[in-house]
């Protein structure tokens, strides 16, 4: 049975859902508030230079997804190599953290401290069965206090703008693929060979920036009859009993309505709840408002130099510097800058409407140039032009109680029979784009179970984006 499905949000998750649905001829409409698709994975083009919203890379263990993306992109998809470093205390360390570097580049006293605090942490963990409640506990229990104070603590505080004591350990377990210092040592001596994401040396990247992947996906959706409505902000969910009948969106000052049989929502959970009729959502508004996002400002600088470094990412952990990462987009694709030129992209975490968010472009540039200079990157006299970009929903803030708020919201949404919420914003989870895409595809397949009979494996999904895999499906 063909259904009319509306997808809220045209980022990687929403587009992947629509991509899958359109392959089976469903009547699918994507409603996206921005003038272009891609969500956090857009690429801005300016004077022949291209800048992502913080350089992205595509890595996935899902062979089917990788194969479909390669087929869609053909020669437009590059395989790039990653080399990342940590700039710390005027030294350059390998990223991810390498024991060899710590031993060789830190003084004897620091090395002794690293070792003793690690042994102490390991001992306390075994004897007192210390629990990981906060991000700080998680790291200290696995790496010891010295490494926490040197790198993880300051970086995390800068990224989230709050003490790592107030951040749930969930973030560490999702973000840091190394298990502990022992794991680092095992890898150093090649006693462990599997490669978690953090270690991946190669990745896929489109010639014209990560956004090209989603521009091409959107073209395929349209070719197959799907609709993509841009500049359209979803503002109301139309409800009758426990059934959602459609949505209203605001487009260039006028309100429009789309009716539907089913909704796949990938917009931020709080925004979705606020779009429900107030009298129905009143008990969960508090939980919706308790979920906070960290914003990011990006400084994009066009540089009249052929190269700056050979690194894909340079992590800057010390709190005295404004940026968390320095990137050279050309390292991902040579087509990201005109021949013989390069560019610099800086990621600066902030909160919406705080001092950094409101800072003028010129002041922010000057602050960044001072920091870059101190870090040994002098581009002051080589700047051709620059611009800044921003995102409001960069990172879901994993406060200690975020899980409770999320659960209350999912319980509320579960009372409606025809909506599923997925993706990074829709599940309030720190997801990479491949998982967001998998979730979108899984949500689409869940709706079309009768259409996919005969497939060997189908991923089913509940609201909240929990993936449950079943091995066979019957019509």
Ligand X SMILES: Cc1cc2nc3c(=O)[nH]c(=O)nc-3n(C[C@H](O)[C@H](O)[C@H](O)COP(=O)(O)OP(=O)(O)OC[C@H]3O[C@@H](n4cnc5c(N)ncnc54)[C@H](O)[C@@H]3O)c2cc1C
Report the interface residues with ligand X, using CB under 6 A.
8-14, 31-34, 39-41, 54, 56-57, 233-234, 266-268, 271, 296, 347, 393-394, 423-425, 431-434, 436
Structural tokens at position 37: 């698709």
Q: What is the DSSP string of 229-283?
A: E-SEEEEEEEEETTEEEEEEEEETTEEEEEE-SEEEE-S-HHHHHHHS-HHHHTT
Note the maximum CA span of the chain: 70
Of the pair 144, 426, the CB lying nearest ligand X is at 426
For ligand X, the closer of residues 45 and 450 by Cβ is 45
The residue of the chain with the least Cβ separation from ligand X equals 11
Between residues 150 and 422, which has the closer beta carbon with respect to ligand X?
422
DSSP designation for 72: H
Which helix (H) or strand (E) segment holds residue 49: the answer is: strand 49-52
Q: Which residues contact 274 (CB under 8 A, 6 or more apart)?
A: 281, 285, 288
CB of 274 to ligand X, least distance (A): 9
In the complex, what is the shortest distance from the CB of residue 130 to ligand X, in angstroms, rounded to a whole number? 31
Q: Shortest distance, CB of residue 443 to ligand X, whole angstroms?
A: 11
Asked if residues 55 and 312 have their Cβ atoms less than 8 Å apart, the reply is: yes
Strand, coil or helix: 457: coil
Query: Which CB atom, from 144 or from 268, has the smaller least distance to ligand X?
Result: 268
Unique residue bearing structure tokens 């298990």: 179
| 185 token code pair | 């040592």
- Provide the minimum distance between the beta carbon of 431 and ligand X in the complex, in angstroms, as a whole number: 5
Distance CA 99, CA 105 (A): 10
Q: Please say which residue, 147 or 217, places its beta carbon nearer to ligand X.
A: 217
- Asked if 97 and 105 count as a contact pair (C-beta separation under 8 A), the reply is no
Place of tokens 């690293």: 114
Shortest Cβ distance from residue 109 to ligand X (Å)? 35
Task: Write down the least CB distance from residue 243 to ligand X, Å.
Answer: 21
User: Looking at beta carbons only, is 261 or 271 nearer to ligand X?
Assistant: 271
Question: What's the min distance (Å) between Cβ of 140 and ligand X?
Answer: 26
Rank residues 114 and 314 by Cβ distance to ligand X and give the closer one.
Answer: 314
Rounded to 5 degrees, φ, ψ at 74 are 55, -130
Q: How many CB atoms lie within 10 A of CB 108?
A: 8
Pair 137, 400: CB distance under 8 Å: no
Shortest CB 42 distance to ligand X, Å: 8
Closer of 4 and 233 to ligand X (Cβ):
233
Whether 39 and 426 have beta carbons less than 8 Å apart is answered as: no
Backbone angles phi and psi of 345, in degrees to 5? -125, 125
């Amino acid at each position: 049975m063909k259904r009319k499905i509306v997808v809220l949000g045209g980022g990687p998750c929403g587009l992947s859902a629509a991509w899958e649905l359109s392959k089976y001829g469903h009547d699918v409409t994507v409603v996206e508030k921005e003038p272009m698709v891609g969500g956090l994975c857009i690429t801005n083009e300016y004077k022949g230079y291209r800048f992502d919203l913080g350089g992205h890379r595509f890595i996935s263990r899902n062979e089917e997804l990788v194969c479909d993306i390669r087929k869609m992109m053909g020669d437009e998809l590059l395989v790039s190599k990653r080399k990342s470093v940590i700039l710390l205390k005027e030294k350059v360390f390998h990223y991810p953290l390498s024991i060899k570097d710590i031993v060789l580049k830190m003084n004897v006293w620091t090395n002794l401290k690293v070792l003793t605090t690690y042994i102490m942490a390991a001992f306390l963990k075994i004897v007192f069965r210390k629990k990981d409640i906060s991000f700080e506990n998680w790291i200290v229990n696995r790496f010891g206090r010295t490494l926490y104070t040197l790198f993880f603590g300051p970086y995390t505080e800068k990224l989230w703008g709050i003490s790592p004591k107030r951040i749930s350990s969930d973030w560490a377990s999702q973000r840091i693929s190394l298990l502990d210092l022992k794991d680092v040592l095992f890898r150093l001596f090649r006693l462990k060979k599997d490669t978690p994401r953090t270690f991946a040396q190669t990745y896929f990247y489109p010639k014209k920036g990560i956004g090209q992947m989603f521009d091409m996906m959107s073209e395929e959706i349209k070719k197959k009859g799907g609709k993509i409505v841009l500049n359209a902000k979803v503002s109301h969910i139309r409800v009758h009993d426990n059934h959602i009948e459609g949505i209203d969106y605001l487009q260039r000052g006028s309100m429009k309505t789309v009716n539907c049989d089913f909704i796949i929502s990938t917009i931020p959970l709080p925004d979705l709840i606020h779009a429900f009729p107030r009298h129905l959502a009143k008990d969960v508004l508090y939980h919706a408002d308790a979920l906070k996002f960290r914003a990011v400002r990006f400084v994009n600088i066009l540089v009249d130099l052929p190269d700056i470094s050979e690194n894909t990412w340079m992590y800057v952990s010390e709190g005295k510097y404004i940026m968390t990462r320095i990137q050279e987009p050309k390292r991902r694709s040579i087509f990201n800058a005109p021949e013989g030129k390069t560019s610099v992209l800086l990621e600066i975490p902030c909160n919406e409407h705080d001092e950094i968010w409101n800072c003028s472009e010129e002041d922010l540039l000057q602050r960044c140039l001072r920091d870059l200079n101190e870090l040994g990157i002098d581009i002051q006299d080589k700047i051709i032009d620059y611009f800044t970009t921003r995102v409001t929903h960069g990172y879901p803030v994993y406060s200690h109680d975020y899980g409770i708020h999320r659960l209350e919201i999912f319980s509320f949404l579960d009372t409606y029979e025809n909506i599923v919420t997925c993706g990074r914003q829709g599940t309030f989870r720190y997801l990479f784009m491949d998982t967001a895409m998998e979730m979108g595809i899984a949500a689409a397949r869940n709706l079309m179970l009768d259409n996919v009979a005969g497939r060997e494996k189908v991923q089913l999904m509940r609201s909240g984006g929990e993936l449950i895999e079943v091995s066979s499906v019957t019509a």
